[in-house]
Amino acid sequence: MRQVSLVVCLHREKDFLARLLDGSAGLYDDLVVVHDGPEDENSESVSKPASFDPIATDFATLRPDSPLPIGYLEPAGPPQAGSIHELVVQHHGRFFEGPRCFQQEPHWPFAWSRAQHDWILRLDADECPSEELKVWLRAFRSDSEPAHDVSGYTCIWPLWNGRCTITKRWPPGRLFLFHKQRVRFFGMVEHVPTPDETTEPLPLILEHKPTRKSYGLRNLVLRPQAYSWRRVIAESLLKKPADLPCWRCLGEEWPQVWEDIRSRPLRTALYRLAIWPLLIMRDMLRVEGRIILAAAIPGGVHHCLIALNYWRLRRFTKEA
């Protein structure tokens, strides 16, 4: 029988987490929840940069019972009534508070190091497995281990308009379950685990239901987090992957999608602004059978702005 650890990194979002844990009952054997910053933090601002420089270490070298690294703590004593900590304890999980990074990715390597099992069910607080995916996960846990060249499994992550899903097969490729000894990762916002071997695509849905649309230009211009994320990515690209929290990844080479920004920021900005939406529309038409412009355009705009942020920051750094 395979054993699975559900790992969630979040900032507040208690109601979402309660929905996720209720909807995921019986799908995991171990629960780890990491809160971005202290749970009782008074400030709601997300526009300021993080005051903590994430730990540059390979968390894959740590054991689940290793001493906590600097910046992380496991609250002692009974949890406060009504807190996320209490909710996690009620679901027999472990709750940690990390440094305030204004993003979840820097916490993933630490969270995975605390997980008791190698198979990681990576879900966001505002997600929940569909009924079909729940059936598959129950079968996965009761089956024998897959071949060693299987690093993980991907699913469909349909678009959400704030009230209902509007796609059935697009976008695919969301890595939701993986073996933590068969992936590599560095903790930068919008970066995802890189499998060592193959991933198996599933025609099953992971529901993503935030309070807003999960797509659209409004997410790029009206959400303060988007500006913070672009700044953090640009700052990270001035460094090396090994300067960030890592998981089995202490190298100096950036994946091509980020190296293109580092080596040719202006050319990459123009290419991603003009060409990426066309490529996304092509893929959307092939997979979904129709084109949703509001979902096809933002990715290219977002990466164009990241590249321009990096170009300005690099010029400023050189001049300084």
Number of domains in the chain: 2
Q: Are residues 193 and 238 in the same domain?
A: no
pLDDT reported for residue 46:
39
- Cα 307 from Cα 272, distance rounded (Å): 9
**Which candidate, 123, 108, 90, 137, places its Cα nearest to that of 13?**
123
Assess if residue 213 is contained within a domain.
Answer: no
Same domain, 17 and 44: yes
| Of the candidates 165, 162, 310, 176, the residue with the CA atom closest to the CA atom of residue 230 | 310
Quick one: pLDDT at residue 52?
Answer: 47
Q: Which residues of the chain have pLDDT under 70?
A: 41-55, 250, 319-320
| 49 and 172 both lie in a single domain | yes
39-95 pLDDT, tens digit per residue, is 986 644 433 444 445 667 899 999 999 999 989 999 988 999 999 999 999 999 999
The amino acid present at 241, given as its one-letter code, is P
Judge contact between 6 and 127, C-beta under 8 A: no
User: In the listed set 157, 173, 208, which residue is the last one of a domain according to the structure?
Assistant: 208
- Regarding whether 242 and 114 lie in a shared domain, the answer is no
Instruction: Look up the domain containing 145 and give its range.
Output: 4-208
256 and 195, same structural domain?
A: no
Statement: the pTM of the whole predicted model exceeds 0.75: yes
In this structure, are 94 and 177 located in the same domain?
Answer: yes
Any domain includes 50 = yes
Clarify whether residues 195 and 301 are in a common domain. no
CATH of residue 80: 3.90.550
Q: For residue 190, is it within any domain?
A: yes
Phi–psi pair at 26, nearest 5 degrees: 85, 5
177 and 308 share one domain: no
**What values do phi and psi take at 236, rounded to 5?**
-65, -35
Contacts with 93 (C-beta within 8 Å, 6 or more apart), sequence order? 6, 30, 31, 32, 33
Dist. CA 307–CA 315, nearest whole Å: 12
154 and 270 in a single domain? The answer is: no
Whether 166 and 253 share a structural domain: no
Residues 124 and 37 in one domain: yes
**How much helix, strand and coil, in percent to the nearest 5, is found in the chain?**
40, 20, 45
